[in-house]
Chains A and B, each alone.
Chain A
Amino acid sequence: MKKSNAYISAALLALGLSACTKLDEKPYSEIISDQFYNNKQEVLSAVLRPFTHAGAWAAPTGQTGYWRLQELSADQLAWPQKGKHGYDGGNWIRLHNHTWIANEDNAWNPWRLMYWGLGFCNNTIKDLTPLDFGKIGMTEAEKTTLLAETRVVRAWHYLKLMDLYGNIPIETEVSSDASPATKSRKEVFEFIEKEIKENVDQLQPLSGELVGRATKAAAYSMLVELYLNAEEWTGTARWDDCITYCNKIINGEGGSLSGAVPALEPNILNAFANNHNISPEDLFQLTYDLRAGNSRFGWQGDFWHYRQRQIDDADVDGNNGIVVIPSAYDAFKDNDLRKTTWMLIGPQKKAMALRQNIGDSLVLGTEEYNNKPLVFVKEIRRNSEGETGAGGMTRGEENSGARFAKYRQGSQADPNYWGNDFVLYRLTEIYFNKAEALMRKNGKIATQDAVDLINACRIRAFKAEDWPAEAYTTTSLTMDELLAERGREFIFEGKRRSDLIRFGKFTTDSWWDHQASADKYKLFPIPFKQTSINPNLVQNPGY
């Protein structure tokens, strides 16, 4: 067939009519890959692509990814069915009850999003390695740093994938017909450790200019998390290595966004504020800015009520999804500032700017409380139908559950309106991790150092007059108390499931209407969509 084409083309060429058989495509509105990478800005645009993508799986922005699996399967947050809303094919009910299967979206979508981000990293390494940086006005040192940063970001993807699925394939090339084989969790652990350690020294230390990037601080934080969970993930404890890297961060070797060393914020809202970029507590974050960058960390879809814009004078509403489980709400003491500041409960009032007259101060509901005041309550049960008792995942109403208020976007008049970044690692977590490592090394008994570390963080959660009674001592800080305090400190941050697993509670404890499940649920199943087309993948045990 090609021969006849050649003859025809030759004949027409002879007649000067070669255009008669030309079928090349010329995209007008898209870039073809081999016409890219012409200058520094384009190179950086490709390097940063995995970061803009990470918001989809690492943060609660509306898709099922790492964050949803980590929180909705644990004991603090849930997405209950609220009347005709929220059944969603039973997805959230199965996550809550640990009854998920391999052939469902909860298993597939996080895998899809995370390997996609990882694919961007592999593609960038593939494209940049042979590129002559001198020709485009950049230096070899810049090339080394950018490739190192991409490898570390890739290792971070593997860290999170391994956290969820355990035994996964390791792929460092982009190809269309390879069938990569499953590697054991231990092998993946070693790969991650090697990748980060080989590249961390070529990274820059964190500075204000490098906000949102994977710097030394970020790499050290990843190693801290890796070593903290080493016993659970590989069977071999690595507490000392964990402490080593915690110290590197604490003494400033990893850099800081402002000042010489990272420091804890004096209050509990600053690390998540909308004035971004300058918190000394944040170590690694995804940057967003609604006004300057037309991109926002969009938590409203998952967390906000249908009329929530009236509460804050915002420009969007939500899908009334994820709320705090009653037992988790009760785990906070009433004088804990985190309970009153990070969560929203009670009658909801309209923002001043939106009140039409004196009597118009209350936000009204739209479903079970249609035209009645909207009052968020702790219980998840059909109060409007007179139900009593503990409630349950299918018993919710539009006002059920305490609500998310950890990130505050400001009002629309605020120049930094919705400028919040999503924080991945912060200094508080490093303090907690170091304290835990110290305690575990010490036969699971608190040392004074550990107590001091936790107290340094916890002090921000209480008023000065309450603090003396709430400070921990080496006797009051037990492992269970440490787990509970971790829950209170890191609620909404996407870390709870890993913590419960490490403390041995994820599949054996019950909370609210969740009963103990089975051992296999410590890992998510490899999605059926991949096991059915890649014969070299091995399903996790029990699925």
Chain B
Amino acid sequence: MHKRSTFWARTCFASMVLMLFSLFAFSQGKTISGKVTDANDHTAIPGVSIQVKGTSVGTITKADGSFSIQAPENATLIFSFVGYLPQEVAAATTPMNVKLAASVKSLQDVVVVGYGTQKRNEITTSVATVKAENFNQGGSRSPMDLIQGKVAGLSVTRTQGNNPNSGASIQIRGISSVSGDMSPLIVIDGIPGGNLDLLQQDDIATFDVLKDGSAAAIYGTRGNNGVILITTKKGKAGDPQYTYSTYVQREAIAKRPSILGAADYIKVAGANNNQGADVDMYDLLLNKDNLSQYHNFAASGGTANSNYRASLYYNDANGIALQNGRTQYGGRVNVNQTGLQGMLTMQFNLAGNFNKANLNGGNSGGGDNKAGNAGADFEQAVQRNPTAPIIGADGKYIETNGFNNYNPLARLQQELYDRDQKTYSGDARITLEPIRDLKFSAFGAIVRDEYTDRQYKKKDSRSSLLNYQGGGYAYKANSAALDKTFEATVDYTKTVNSDHTFNVLGGYSYQYSTLEKYAMDNNGFLTDAFEDWNIGAGNALNDPKLPRPTQSSNKIDNTLIAFFGRINYNYKQKYMLQAILRHEGSSRFGANNKWGNFPAVSAGWVISKEAFMQDITVINNLKLRAGYGVTGNQGIPSYQSLLTLGTGGAYLQYGKWIQTYGPNKNPNPDLRWEKKKEFNAGIDFSLLQNRIGGSVDIYSRRTKDLLFNYTAQLPSNILDNIFTNVGEISNNGVEVVINTVPVKTKDFTWNSDLTFNSQRNKMVSFSNQIYKATEQFYGDLPSPGNLGSAIRVVEGGPLGTFFGYRYAGLTDDGKWQFYKKDGSIGGTSDMNPNDKAVIGNGIPKYMASWNNTFRYKNFDLSLFFRGKFGFDILNLQDMYFGNKKWSPNNMLSSAIGKNAKLNDDPQFSDYYLEKGDFVKLDNITLGYNFQLKTKYVRNLRVYASGRNIATITKYSGLDPELQDTALDSGIDGRGFYPRTRSYTIGLNLGF
């Protein structure tokens, strides 16, 4: 305490003395004035720091970029600002026009690391940053599309093609959990668990991806799968600006299943199945004239102390399938203000998204339609008898009689399924900086995501006639999720002796989430006119002969509390050290284990700053870093540790029917976090005047206390499984990023960026002393036939292994032959589960992407390739539909082509495993920047973009890019959603 007061006194006194001197110095100089602008777009740059070299005399530019400073003659002025290369310019008496050039991949770049930022050159952990100018061009259905393939180790997969109502599965560095959350934590502007629907591609400024444990540990229990920090564009000081972006997009078929036409079908199914017509139902389900459009209008402005950004958008997205669209609009407002003599800063954000989605078509889950797997509209179109007409002579839709058949075109006309969704978020942050470099900050956020679903099936629809005695069916459901966050932090930076810099951060975080749902349905309507808007009118409420109407409601909640701290130290920005500790508790865990500790430590060494490296001019930057961190996973359902009672069905109790109750789980009061320990080492380098740069990371991670449903001892437990912590998974891999500028001339630049990663995972152990499992099965194959599970994981083995019979050829009459365990050959009825063997693996071992950008004068062209290698795909489509036995349903042409000799029922074996390796030309964009000499337009760019243009692969199915982020990777299900190319034309206008 004592020391501080004298320190303050000394500082104050010293600064006063200095100021007096400087005044004295000033009185002997000249007034230099001028303006600082951006060398690229000529905008004024406010806030640029200008210093008279060798003195402490300085000033900053005003909002219009102008400055005025007293300097002696022959003085040199140093101009510096974040994001620009510093310049030293001799002072001149005439007004100076200084143009600052943006630094390319500047080491002074700021990286968002969670609860703060760090300069790129001080990072000791594995963090990747993607800025707006490097985003994938073209229309994106979800924000994650923007960075697909840009970050080594980050896999973004769209399993439903370009369906506007489907999401992307995201994974960093492979599978590290079996039943917890498997996707990274998304933090939007500091709100953990933010909702991606609230982000529009033109409002996003950067993605920062925290890949390893030592970076993600600051997020503790949710950091196991990495953290993606998304920062939206904010207001900044400067002239008022407007930006308008727009594009139109069309989807065109790239690949669709090849099915038999009428003539071939009759040859296989027989003439008695010939109903005379020749219909391609698959084609009829496509909306070939689809068009999507997007508009985003933003305004920003303000001063250095008070600025804002507001944007509005509208998007009408339509997919390639009928009734598969999504219309959304919304906006975002950001206000920043600094006041109270620069001590109090406030930032305030408000965002909203309103969207209406048509879930009826496109395998989106409408009605009987389950996305991805058996029974959906496109599968019906593939298997429908091509000789069956669509509409009969009486004007009614024709239903074919096969197993599980229905007429998909009829269903689309007879049913509806809409979702009306509203998402809002509001957050505010207040930071008090009473003393320089000491900040107190309080942050609060609320996010609410609410949707209402409605379904109606007309009285004459097949579903209503079959299940509801022709009385129609109406359904409504509502879901409301609310997340409240409060965080308080203290941040202090201190530099000692101008060489040692410390930064200390301490904080508290509280997050409460709740999810409420309710639903109701009814049937027995007199008329279709109400649809679902008069649900009480259904007679099933009164008539016991009609199927019972149902009602349900449900609520769950959970709380997350944490105390965290971080210390950063660097010596001359050459040696860096970081330590993190987060002490976090979650309500989801057992009474004995609600809290856990998540520490991390990492260090860095900028070798290129050492004296012995100064002569090696080839190397501009070389940094070595290593880190170790522990993170957790709390992504399991709530209430797992409690002994709860569930319903068992009603039973007669003295003449009345009463619900029965019994324990519905084996409780586990010892339930605790999954913990992942990760070691990461990396090198960042930059050579040849920044013409070649990149990084290499090696990581090794182990997740212990894996949460999983284990087979419990039965007896003496009540149920056969218990959710408990046993088992370990390990992942190892290498990530490489290389950015090069092969050609750079006055008019022509060629940038080439390559990312590559390899991953190996292993199920180290499934057991401990109490619980043992030696194998687990995944990937259950659908009906008909119930052929079992496709994937088996054993202790000590890799994840994603296909386990099945080995194909040994066909008999002369086309029956299956498989190898038995002892090597002999047997038919289907000779086989038992012991004859199965490891036949392949569905998780890619390597992923790579290669992006080339060419700039010639005002034109730019980018080509982006992506690929995954080293995996197999189980072609379920071929297994069921490429088989003559699927008759009297229609089949794929492989039934009379590749599989023509087969004359046996579908069986799972390595006959249907194909290599899935592929390379895709995923994005070609050609753009032109107009250089208009008018002050009305700041910039104008027009572009044309194509996505998913070409795929090079040996795989015979629709798309080798399948979901590969879960335990049943590599199974190409029966969804048959077509693969499309997207063509986009757009423009960005700034004025």
Q: Which residues of A contact B (CB under 8 A)?
A: 1-2, 4-5, 8, 20-34, 36, 41-42, 44-46, 48-53, 55, 81, 83-90, 93-94, 99, 101, 103-104, 111-112, 115-116, 118-120, 122-123, 169, 171, 173-180, 209, 211-212, 277, 287, 289, 291-295, 306, 315, 364-367, 370-372, 393-394, 412-413, 415, 417, 529-530, 532-534
**B residues near A55, Cβ cutoff 8 Å:** 649
Is there a chain A Cβ closer than 8 Å to B392's Cβ?
no
What is the 8 Å Cβ interface bit string for chain B, positions 874-909, against chain A (1 contact, 0 not)? 000000000101101000000000000000011100
Complex CA distance for A48 and B662, rounded to whole angstroms: 9
Say yes or no: B650 contacts A52, CB within 8 Å: yes
Nearest B-chain residue to A118, judged by Cβ: B715
Say yes or no: A178 contacts B831, CB within 8 Å: no
Of the candidates A179, A315, A370, the one whose C-beta lies within 8 Å of that of B273 is A370
Say yes or no: B643 contacts A33, CB within 8 Å: yes
Is there a chain A Cβ closer than 8 Å to B401's Cβ?
yes
Nearest A-chain residue to B906, judged by Cβ: A84
Of the candidates B510, B652, B772, B833, the one whose C-beta lies within 8 Å of that of A101 is B833
Complex CA distance for A244 and B650, rounded to whole angstroms: 36
**B residues near A2, Cβ cutoff 8 Å:** 595
Say yes or no: A88 contacts B716, CB within 8 Å: no
Say yes or no: A46 contacts B662, CB within 8 Å: yes
Say yes or no: A22 contacts B559, CB within 8 Å: yes
Known: A30-B645, A365-B401. 20 other contacts (CB 8 A): A29-B555, A30-B646, A45-B661, A49-B661, A50-B662, A52-B651, A53-B662, A83-B905, A85-B784, A86-B785, A169-B715, A178-B715, A179-B713, A180-B713, A277-B652, A289-B652, A295-B650, A364-B401, A532-B772, A533-B711
Say yes or no: B651 contacts A212, CB within 8 Å: yes
Is there a chain A Cβ closer than 8 Å to B544's Cβ?
yes
Is there a chain A Cβ closer than 8 Å to B495's Cβ?
no
Complex CA distance for A289 and B656, rounded to whole angstroms: 11
Complex CA distance for A8 and B597, rounded to whole angstroms: 14
**A residues near B661, Cβ cutoff 8 Å:** 31, 36, 42, 45-46, 49
Is there a chain A Cβ closer than 8 Å to B611's Cβ?
no
In this complex, the member of A84, A169, A177 whose beta carbon has the largest number of chain B beta carbons within 10 angstroms is A84
Say yes or no: B555 contacts A366, CB within 8 Å: no
Say yes or no: A88 contacts B786, CB within 8 Å: yes
**B residues near A180, Cβ cutoff 8 Å:** 713, 715-716
Of the candidates B544, B660, B712, B784, the one whose C-beta lies within 8 Å of that of A176 is B712
Say yes or no: B643 contacts A32, CB within 8 Å: yes
What is the 8 Å Cβ interface bit string for chain B, positions 170-187, against chain A (1 contact, 0 not)? 000000000000000000
**B residues near A533, Cβ cutoff 8 Å:** 711, 713, 771-773
Say whether, besides A46-B661, A52-B648, A371 and B832 are in contact (CB < 8 Å).
no
Provide a sorted-by-A list of 25 A–B residue pairs whose CB atoms are within 8 angstroms: A1-B595, A20-B508, A23-B559, A23-B586, A25-B558, A28-B555, A30-B664, A32-B643, A45-B658, A48-B660, A55-B649, A85-B403, A87-B828, A88-B787, A89-B833, A101-B833, A111-B714, A118-B715, A119-B719, A174-B717, A178-B713, A178-B716, A179-B713, A393-B829, A532-B774
Complex CA distance for A315 and B644, rounded to whole angstroms: 34
Q: Which 5 A-B pairs have the closest CB atoms?
A: A119-B718, A49-B662, A293-B657, A171-B715, A28-B555
**A residues near B510, Cβ cutoff 8 Å:** 20
Complex CA distance for A49 and B402, rounded to whole angstroms: 40
Say yes or no: B587 contacts A287, CB within 8 Å: no
Of the stretches B7-15, B86-94, B524-532, B546-554, the one at the interface is B546-554
Complex CA distance for A488 and B713, rounded to whole angstroms: 40
| Interface residue ranges of B739-798 to A (CB < 8 Å) | 770-774, 784-788
Complex CA distance for A280 and B712, rounded to whole angstroms: 43
Is there a chain A Cβ closer than 8 Å to B663's Cβ?
yes
Is there a chain A Cβ closer than 8 Å to B99's Cβ?
no
**A residues near B655, Cβ cutoff 8 Å:** 209
Complex CA distance for A103 and B558, rounded to whole angstroms: 39
Closest-CB distance, A536 to chain B (whole angstroms): 10
**B residues near A44, Cβ cutoff 8 Å:** 653, 658
Closest-CB distance, A447 to chain B (whole angstroms): 40
Is there a chain A Cβ closer than 8 Å to B233's Cβ?
no
Say yes or no: B272 contacts A294, CB within 8 Å: no
**B residues near A45, Cβ cutoff 8 Å:** 653, 658-661
Say yes or no: B642 contacts A104, CB within 8 Å: no
Is there a chain A Cβ closer than 8 Å to B821's Cβ?
no
Q: Which residues of B contact A (CB under 8 A)?
A: 272-273, 401-403, 405, 467, 469, 508, 510, 544-545, 547-548, 553-559, 561, 563, 583, 585-588, 594-595, 597, 638-639, 641-646, 648-655, 657-664, 666, 668, 711-720, 722, 770-774, 784-788, 828-829, 831-834, 883, 885-886, 888, 905-907
**B residues near A173, Cβ cutoff 8 Å:** 716
Complex CA distance for A295 and B894, rounded to whole angstroms: 45
**B residues near A34, Cβ cutoff 8 Å:** 643
Say yes or no: B644 contacts A41, CB within 8 Å: no
Say yes or no: B654 contacts A23, CB within 8 Å: no
Closest-CB distance, B473 to chain A (whole angstroms): 13
Closest-CB distance, B559 to chain A (whole angstroms): 6
Closest-CB distance, B321 to chain A (whole angstroms): 27
Of the candidates B548, B662, B773, the one whose C-beta lies within 8 Å of that of A294 is B548
Complex CA distance for A293 and B467, rounded to whole angstroms: 19
In this complex, the member of A49, A116, A174 whose beta carbon has the largest number of chain B beta carbons within 10 angstroms is A49
Say yes or no: B653 contacts A41, CB within 8 Å: yes
Of the candidates B643, B715, B788, the one whose C-beta lies within 8 Å of that of A115 is B715
Nearest B-chain residue to A104, judged by Cβ: B833
Say whether, besides A48-B653, A52-B648, A412 and B715 are in contact (CB < 8 Å).
no
Complex CA distance for A511 and B71, rounded to whole angstroms: 112
Complex CA distance for A171 and B715, rounded to whole angstroms: 7
**B residues near A292, Cβ cutoff 8 Å:** 657
Closest-CB distance, A34 to chain B (whole angstroms): 8
In this complex, the member of A2, A23, A93 whose beta carbon has the largest number of chain B beta carbons within 10 angstroms is A23
Complex CA distance for A31 and B663, rounded to whole angstroms: 9
Say yes or no: A120 contacts B652, CB within 8 Å: no
Closest-CB distance, B950 to chain A (whole angstroms): 36
**A residues near B563, Cβ cutoff 8 Å:** 8
Nearest B-chain residue to A179, judged by Cβ: B713
Of the candidates B273, B649, B650, B828, the one whose C-beta lies within 8 Å of that of A371 is B273
**B residues near A99, Cβ cutoff 8 Å:** 832
In this complex, the member of B586, B649, B828 whose beta carbon has the largest number of chain A beta carbons within 10 angstroms is B649
**A residues near B888, Cβ cutoff 8 Å:** 367, 370
**B residues near A41, Cβ cutoff 8 Å:** 653, 658
**B residues near A415, Cβ cutoff 8 Å:** 544-545
Closest-CB distance, B592 to chain A (whole angstroms): 10
Complex CA distance for A530 and B785, rounded to whole angstroms: 27
Say yes or no: A315 contacts B467, CB within 8 Å: yes
Say yes or no: B587 contacts A23, CB within 8 Å: yes
**B residues near A81, Cβ cutoff 8 Å:** 905
Say yes or no: B643 contacts A25, CB within 8 Å: no
Say whether, besides A33-B663, A116-B720, A174-B718, A25 and B554 are in contact (CB < 8 Å).
no
**B residues near A21, Cβ cutoff 8 Å:** 561, 585
**B residues near A179, Cβ cutoff 8 Å:** 713
Complex CA distance for A291 and B657, rounded to whole angstroms: 10
Complex CA distance for A366 and B402, rounded to whole angstroms: 5
Complex CA distance for A261 and B587, rounded to whole angstroms: 58
**B residues near A367, Cβ cutoff 8 Å:** 402-403, 888
Closest-CB distance, B912 to chain A (whole angstroms): 15
**A residues near B714, Cβ cutoff 8 Å:** 111-112, 115-116, 119, 530
**B residues near A291, Cβ cutoff 8 Å:** 544-545
Say yes or no: B718 contacts A122, CB within 8 Å: yes
**A residues near B885, Cβ cutoff 8 Å:** 83-84
Closest-CB distance, B905 to chain A (whole angstroms): 4
Say yes or no: B401 contacts A371, CB within 8 Å: yes
In this complex, the member of A86, A93, A294, A533 whose beta carbon has the largest number of chain B beta carbons within 10 angstroms is A533
Say yes or no: A87 contacts B652, CB within 8 Å: no
Closest-CB distance, A301 to chain B (whole angstroms): 12
In this complex, the member of B405, B547, B558, B595 whose beta carbon has the largest number of chain A beta carbons within 10 angstroms is B595
